[in-house]
Amino acid sequence: MENIRNIAVIAHVDHGKTTMVDELLKQSGTFSEREQISERVMDSNDIEKERGITILSKNTAINYKGTKINIIDTPGHADFGGEVERVLKMIDGVLLLVDAQEGVMPQTKFVVKKALSLGLKPIVVINKIDKPAADPERVINEIFDLFVALDANDEQLDFAIVYAAAKNGYAKLDLNDESDNMEPLFKTILERVPAPSGTNDNPLQLQVFTLGYDNFVGKIGIARIFNGVVKKNQSVMLAKADGTKVNGRISKLIGFMGLEKMDIEEAGSGDIVAIAGFEALDVGDSVVDPNNPMPLDPLHIEEPTLSIVFSVNDGPLAGTEGKHVTSNKIAERLEAEMKTNIAMKYESTGEGKFKVSGRGELQITILAENMRREGFEFCMGRPEVIVKVEDGVKTEPFEHLVIDVPEEFSGAVIEKLGKRKAEMKTMAPTGDGQTRLEFEIPARGLIGFRSQFLTDTKGEGVMNHSFLEFRPFSGAVEKRNNGALISMENGVALGYSLFNLQERGVLFIEPQTKVYTGMIIGEHSRPNDLDVNPIKGKNLTNVRASGSDDAIKLVPPRKLSLERALEWIEEDELVEVTPVNVRVRKRYLDPTQRKRMEKAKS
């Protein structure tokens, strides 16, 4: 069996794990000198590149002095925790990457807890030591305290430490060492990460941990071989998580090297490969020797905590901007997403409505953003938290929320969160006039909080949250304080009428925007909804006006992104998503029908 090491890179969003993987690829000689590497090679999806986050776990392999190192880049967001849990089952070691200035963040905790509970021994890499405010000593103490708090055993507490600045391409074992390459990190990986257990002589056992899809060969399962050898065209048995068994053969076997995928004839125990040949492939399924089947334990994945209803766009402008607008098309697209994205579920609730459940707002909005770019047009309702009833008690998901804000804003943040049923756990200064606040809060309380939070902290606050547990229902949470400005006409908005409307609140649209009855064009400065006419022009008279009368000064509108729109809406409102626009509208466009519905509700 060739020398193999399987490792995952764990880090908080933006602590530099994708950059680190790029450097390792570069310095191991996996890329030839001639090849130009794009920045952050591993984030291949457009949205990943724009937001600088990793959504899907990627895998790549490096050949370093005769040892094949399989590296899996995991998402750092708790919303994509479903990905992380599966990946950890497939590897033998973890690189825990922590920013030398920011220290340990909540999502890092989420993943580290999973890794420690599986008995993995992390290698701690303190990254970005070239930052001016870096404090590696403090960060190492934080990590040690975290490991103790998460019940790490003595072996895990004796972790290896490597200092690095991945962007500048060097790593060292001691801060005083001189180094200009990643050699110390490679050595540490080879020494500290155990080689895979299992041999080529045993019967075949491999387990699928991520799915891909290829138009030519159908479903592809990316899997780790725990025992035995797998060959192309070999007859095998697929053992599913529910116990059913299917015989078949492997039509395609794909290996990884650098960023390349290539067809291979066979692969041995401990390696990570992709297989095709089964339509019914799912995450957690085992592929075993039909003469001696020994399936592996299926993988457990955490439950979704939040759902959003997607529906067909039935507004007056439906079909004018998108290619795919029918419920059949939307259903097909959601079906395809569920094939590869295991932490999400969807069900059709009739009348062109689909309830999509996931681990958080981010995960579902990324799906919506992808669909929008593919030419879909649809509406989305307000995010709802998934409530469970256990032994007659209504329970809801709670989140662990960590906030870093400048001291002067901490009072405002604590007050706002108090209204949202949050309970403060700790409050500590982190130096530089910053304060770190930790809360436990119902997930419902976080919906719509981010935009409010950024306003309160003048954009300087940072918030991160991760799933904690289900707890008894905590009662009503404060809603949006302001009403909506609703268009009562169909047409094109004019500067003159918007100029007269801007004292009524904050506008979301600019002149020459198409509007329709029931579309929300702004936020009212008072708590009630107000029907307004944005298409009224100036009446012409034969009286000559002075120049100052004609000068219209408009305040720039508040542009709503998909996330901000979803956070802003209430239950009786929808976000209309098209490839060109994100609009906000009332669920019932007709004003009389709206009033009737409100009466029926009260």
Q: Which of 388, 313, 319, 320 is nearest to 353 (CA)?
A: 313
Pairing of strands 230-231, 272-276: unpaired
19 is in an annotated binding site: yes
**Residue 16 assigned ligand-binding role:** yes
Contact 211, 281 (CB under 8 A): yes
d(CA 448, CA 361): 10
Query: Is 349 a known ligand-binding residue?
Result: no
Q: What is the dihedral of CA 592, 594, 599, 602, to 10 degrees?
A: -170
For 537, counting Cβ atoms within 10 Å of its Cβ (0-12 exposed, 13-18 middle, 19+ buried), the class is exposed
Tell me if 541 is assigned to a ligand binding site: no
- Cα distance between residue 573 and residue 380, in whole Å: 9
> H helices within 122-192, ranges in order?
136-149, 154-157, 183-192
CB 270 within 8 A of CB 4: yes
Spatial strand order in the sheet of 58-64 = 58-64, 67-73, 4-11, 93-99, 122-127, 160-165, 170-172
Q: Which two tokens stand for residue 520?
A: 């929300």
Residues in a beta bridge with 385: 306
Residue 175 CB neighbour total at 10 angstroms? 12
- Rounded-to-integer distance, Cα 127 and Cα 129, Å: 6
Residue 18 assigned ligand-binding role: yes
531 contacts: CB under 8 Å, gap ≥ 6: 486, 487, 488, 591
Q: What tokens were used for 248?
A: 């078949």
Residue 200 marked in a binding site: no
- Strands 58-64, 67-73: pairing is antiparallel
Given a contact cutoff of 8 angstroms between Cβ atoms, the answer to whether 261 and 274 are in contact is yes
400 is in an annotated binding site: no
Which DSSP symbol is given to 42? T
> Is 535 buried (19+), middle (13-18) or exposed (0-12) by CB count in 10 A?
middle
Least Cα distance to 401 among 383, 382, 427 occurs for 427
Q: How far does Cα 89 stand from its chain's mean position?
A: 20
Compute the distance between CA of residue 215 and CA of residue 570 in angstroms, rounded to an integer: 40
Q: Which of 36, 17, 39 is nearest to 87 (CA)?
A: 17
17 annotated as belonging to a binding site for a ligand: yes
**Is 30 one of the annotated binding-site residues?**
no
Phi, psi (degrees; rounded to nearest 5) at 275: -125, 150
Residue 307 structure tokens: 């759902």
Cβ neighbours of residue 422 under 8 Å, at least 6 residues apart?
401, 439, 440, 441, 445
Alpha carbons within 13 angstroms on the beta-carbon side of residue 175 total: 11
Q: Tokens 């925790």 sit at which residue?
A: 81
The dihedral sign for the CA sequence 449, 454, 455, 456: positive
- Is 130 assigned to a binding site? yes
Distance CA 39, CA 514 (A): 39
Dig out the tokens for 472 from the structure: 């008894």
Q: Per the structure block, which two tokens stand in for 103?
A: 């220290």
Which parts are annotated binding residues?
14-19, 127-130
Which parts are annotated binding residues for GTP?
14-19, 127-130
